[in-house]
Amino acid sequence: MDPIDYLKEKLEPEQFEKIRAIDNPELHEFLAKYIKLLNPAKVFVCTDSKEDEVYIRRKALEYGEENPLVMEGHTVHYDGYYDQARDKARTKILVPKGVEIPFINTMNREEGLREIHEIMKDIAKGKELFVCFFVLGPKNSVFTIPAVQLTDSAYVAHSEFILYRKGYEEFRRLGREAKFLKFVHSAGELDERKTSKNIDKRRVYIDLEGETVYSANTQYGGNTIGLKKLAFRLTIKRAVEEGWLSEHMFLMRVNGPNGRKTYFTGAYPSMCGKTSTAMISWENIVGDDLTFIVDMKGEARGANVEKGVFGIIQGVNQEDDPIIWEVLHSPNEIIFSNVLVKDGKPYWNEMGIPIPDEGENHSGKWWRGKKDPEGNEIPPSHKNARFTVSLEAFPNADLEALEAPCGVRVGGMIFGGRDADTWPPVRESFDWAHGVITMGAALESETTAATLGKEGVRAFNPMAILDFLSVHIGDYLKNYLEFEKKLRVKPKIFAVNYFLRDKNGNWLNHKLDKAVWLKWMELRVHEDVDAIKTPVGYIPKYEDLKKLFKEVLNKEYRREDYERQFTIRVPEFLAKIERIEKIYKEIGNIPEDLFKILEEEKQRLLEAKEKYGDYISPFQFE
Ligand SMILES: Nc1nc2c(ncn2[C@@H]2O[C@H](COP(=O)(O)OP(=O)(O)O)[C@@H](O)[C@H]2O)c(=O)[nH]1
Ligand SMILES: C=C(OP(=O)(O)O)C(=O)O
Ligand SMILES: [Mn+2]
């Protein structure tokens, strides 16, 4: 049967008309195929109208995937107890037979498609299926990528309305021209708490060839929100093929002297500080997770892929995060996930106020001391509990930059991770290639609760992107190195580390110190301050930081703190280079420059060691 005829027969006339209004046979074919396969009782098609959005929100409550909280606009959603993070093991990139890509969990495409289609057969039986249209990036711009999402979860659809720009009209405008991404999701059978029941059949399969991602038997946003980490795999591939950058980066404005606005991107692995950095009260957030960077007339221009925040709530407190705190306590449209609820109010770990001793959380009815089946004590909220809210709710959002069709000029790019013992808090690369290789490609970070599995293990994570990489790392790095040649004005590249510890495991920095590093980087982009040359890049001078600590945080910054934080740890740096070299040597197709640049860094470190010893005070280099 012709797809359009099938849709006419299956959908109610009002819904069918919405589909018919989009002149795109490829879309019709896709919809017909998956509506047939998933076999829902009912289909709802979302246009860009307010009513359709309200309908989704209402359905999330009606179907019990969300429950209202006392504050207007607030709801709570729970994911299953074992469905609280990204499932790396069961997330696979589908590739042609025989193809293996280093570090990437791949599967033979035909086999994967067969398996997922089997799992998804009749999976939405008895449920309502939502068909939603969005765009990645600002509308009608060089960044725009249209996407269609099928899901039987009103929670997923609701999250997407908060996080992405509506795209129905864009599909109508583009018609057959739309080169769109496709997402098919089903939460599968739900239990009495409305959480996915068949976790053993949880799958996230990414079909690069068909630009389609399938997600089944899971609800956690990192596994299900199509336009977020699922689309990211597809856009990385497009970017590498087309010569631009699709990155795991926040995008923010740092306010310099005399009203100067400088935009920065920052790539840190999940749970390593993207949202907390972009949210610093006196700077301005444009995005907190995903950024597209293209060259335009020789400038690197960045745009937020999204328009909302799916942020980690643990640790959000009134003192360090006054703006998020205020937003979370105002009648905005917010979905709280996997938090503790008592008397209709949400609570989370480390929120800086007393938390009730019982209530409801991701484990069901909860009381202090409750243990899970593995014997672990269950905290009030899950470590990876989140809030979902639109950027419009934030007084510190730079909404003009958010919607700018040409994006904003990127002045600096930052790489960072959880590193207890090697990298200083902030440093600047000698040039683009030095930054790309020694800061981006050499990034390591301790694993976190954002993915299932053991936490706190140091892991190779180039550009904070390893979990999402869909192409060979060599091709990805070549594209990065090539990108520089398109640029007349090059962003400076920096590395940060918020997570240095002393021998007793105490942090060497406060959570807000990052605000100072940002101001220093802003000055460096414009060469307003000098810096100290070390074997691993430029680091700040003590006097400049002392002044900034006073101005930004009204804090005294002691010489001994500076010295401890910015000591160049030669043995750790050398060990790291060795680990990184070994990793890259074991795989082919790596740009020669990578080994050359690492070797040069090693030689500089060895020379310094000869002269000053293993642990070198920053004052030695002045
Ligand atoms: N010790 C320490 N923890 C931090 C710092 N910045 C953020 N965090 C914590 O790191 C976790 C993840 O931060 P978030 O910004 O949400 O990470 P994202 O996933 O990269 O967006 C939160 O629990 C924060 O409280 C910091 O400077 N120092
Ligand atoms: C949604 C996620 O994003 P992040 O932790 O990077 O904010 C995730 O990693 O699942
Ligand atoms: Mn985040």
φ and ψ of 252, to 5 deg: -145, 160
Please give the distance, rounded to the nearest whole angstrom, from the Cα atom of residue 145 to the centre of ligand 1. 30
* pLDDT band, residue 375 (cuts 50/70/90): very high
Q: Is 270 in the pocket of ligand 2 (CB under 6 A)?
A: yes
Q: Is 182 in the pocket of ligand 1 (CB under 6 A)?
A: no
Q: Is 276 annotated as a binding residue?
A: yes
Ligand closest to Cα of 312 equals: 1
Q: What percent of the chain has pLDDT over 90?
A: 98
Q: Is 248 annotated as a binding residue?
A: yes
Among protein residues, the one whose CA lies closest to atom 25 of ligand 1: 315
pLDDT tens track for 345-374 = 999 999 999 999 999 999 999 999 999 999
Please, is 78 exposed, middle or buried when counting C-beta atoms within 10 Å of its C-beta (0-12, 13-18, 19+)?
buried
Alpha helices in 254-361 (DSSP H): 274-278, 322-328
Q: How far apart are the first and last CA of the chain?
A: 76
Q: Is 86 in the pocket of ligand 1 (CB under 6 A)?
A: no
The answer on pLDDT for 507 being more than 90 is: yes
Please give the distance, rounded to the nearest whole angstrom, from the Cα atom of residue 608 to the centre of ligand 1. 33
Whether 417 contacts 461, CB under 8 Å: yes
* pLDDT band, residue 471 (cuts 50/70/90): very high
Q: Is 64 in the pocket of ligand 1 (CB under 6 A)?
A: no
Please, is 85 exposed, middle or buried when counting C-beta atoms within 10 Å of its C-beta (0-12, 13-18, 19+)?
buried
Q: ipTM of this predicted complex?
A: 0.97
Average pLDDT over residues 55-75: 98
Among protein residues, the one whose CA lies closest to atom 3 of ligand 1: 511
Among protein residues, the one whose CA lies closest to atom 3 of ligand 2: 270
More confident residue, 604 or 454: 604
Average pLDDT over residues 90-94: 98
DSSP 433: H
Q: Is 232 in the pocket of ligand 2 (CB under 6 A)?
A: no
The answer on pLDDT for 1 being more than 90 is: no
The residue to which tokens 């005829």 are assigned: 5
Q: Is 22 in the pocket of ligand 2 (CB under 6 A)?
A: no
Structure confidence at residue 449 (pLDDT): 87
Catalytic residue (one of 46, 132, 272, 406): 272
Please give the distance, rounded to the nearest whole angstrom, from the Cα atom of residue 465 to the centre of ligand 2. 11
Q: What percent of the chain has pLDDT over 70?
A: 100
Ligand closest to Cα of 279 equals: 1
Please give the distance, rounded to the nearest whole angstrom, from the Cα atom of residue 313 to the centre of ligand 1. 10
Average pLDDT over residues 441-462: 93
The single-letter code of the amino acid at 445 is S
Q: Does residue 272 have an active-site annotation?
A: yes
Whether 289 contacts 250, CB under 8 Å: yes
Structure confidence at residue 146 (pLDDT): 98
**Dist CA 75 CA 341 (whole Å):** 10
The residue to which tokens 């999330």 are assigned: 60
Please give the distance, rounded to the nearest whole angstrom, from the Cα atom of residue 372 to the centre of ligand 3. 27
Q: Is 474 in the pocket of ligand 1 (CB under 6 A)?
A: no
Whether 205 contacts 112, CB under 8 Å: yes
Which atom in ligand 2 lies closest to the alpha carbon of residue 228? 1
- C-alpha to C-alpha distances, 401 to 265, 391, 510, nearest whole angstrom: 13, 12, 29
Structure confidence at residue 185 (pLDDT): 98
Among protein residues, the one whose CA lies closest to atom 4 of ligand 2: 270
Q: Is 229 in the pocket of ligand 2 (CB under 6 A)?
A: yes
Average pLDDT over residues 386-397: 98
Please, is 503 exposed, middle or buried when counting C-beta atoms within 10 Å of its C-beta (0-12, 13-18, 19+)?
exposed
pLDDT tens track for 244-295 = 999 999 999 999 999 999 999 999 999 999 999 999 999 999 999 999 999 9
The residue to which tokens 């550009």 are assigned: 463
Please give the distance, rounded to the nearest whole angstrom, from the Cα atom of residue 273 to the centre of ligand 3. 7
Of 271, 291, 516, the residue with max ligand 1 atoms within 8 A of its CB, to mutate for a pocket test, comes to 271
**Dist CA 5 CA 583 (whole Å):** 54
**Dist CA 132 CA 325 (whole Å):** 31
Angle subtended by helix axes 13-20 and 25-38, to nearest 10: 140
Q: Is 289 annotated as a binding residue?
A: yes
Mean model confidence pLDDT for the chain: 97
Which residues on adjacent β-strands are paired with residue 287?
251
The answer on pLDDT for 405 being more than 90 is: yes
pLDDT tens track for 301-337 = 999 999 999 999 999 999 989 999 999 999 999 999 9
- H helix or E strand, kind and range, residue 85: none
**Dist CA 94 CA 559 (whole Å):** 53
Pairing of strands 165-166, 181-186: unpaired
HSE-CB at 17 with a 13 A cutoff on CA atoms is 3
The residue to which tokens 């909404």 are assigned: 399
The answer on pLDDT for 451 being more than 90 is: no
Average pLDDT over residues 389-411: 98
Among protein residues, the one whose CA lies closest to atom 8 of ligand 2: 222
Structure confidence at residue 3 (pLDDT): 97
The radius of gyration computed from the CA coordinates of the chain, to the nearest angstrom, equals 24
Please give the distance, rounded to the nearest whole angstrom, from the Cα atom of residue 110 to the centre of ligand 2. 29
Q: Which of 34, 55, 316, 292 is nearest to 186 (CA)?
A: 34
DSSP 377: B
- 3-class SS of residue 127: coil
The DSSP line for 444-455 is EEE--TTBSS-S
The single-letter code of the amino acid at 491 is P
Q: Is 384 annotated as a binding residue?
A: yes
Among protein residues, the one whose CA lies closest to atom 9 of ligand 2: 270
The answer on pLDDT for 386 being more than 90 is: yes
Which atom in ligand 1 lies closest to the alpha carbon of residue 513? 27
Q: Is 222 in the pocket of ligand 1 (CB under 6 A)?
A: no
Of 79, 229, 279, the residue with max ligand 2 atoms within 8 A of its CB, to mutate for a pocket test, comes to 229
Contacts of 270 (CB under 8 A, 6+ apart): 86, 222, 448, 450, 451, 464, 467
pLDDT tens track for 163-179 = 999 999 999 999 999 99
Please give the distance, rounded to the nearest whole angstrom, from the Cα atom of residue 555 to the centre of ligand 1. 21
Structure confidence at residue 166 (pLDDT): 98
Structure confidence at residue 452 (pLDDT): 86
Among protein residues, the one whose CA lies closest to atom 12 of ligand 1: 271
Structure confidence at residue 250 (pLDDT): 98
Whether 496 contacts 514, CB under 8 Å: yes
Q: Is 132 annotated as a binding residue?
A: no
The model scores a pTM over 0.95: yes
* pLDDT band, residue 554 (cuts 50/70/90): very high
pLDDT tens track for 294-303 = 999 999 999 9
**Dist CA 125 CA 538 (whole Å):** 60
Which atom in ligand 2 lies closest to the alpha carbon of residue 467? 9
Structure confidence at residue 450 (pLDDT): 82
Q: Provide the CA 467 distance to its chain's centre, in angstroms.
A: 11
The answer on pLDDT for 215 being more than 90 is: yes
Kindly report the number of other CB atoms within 10 A of residue 169's CB atom: 16
Of 83, 84, 86, 277, the residue with max ligand 2 atoms within 8 A of its CB, to mutate for a pocket test, comes to 86
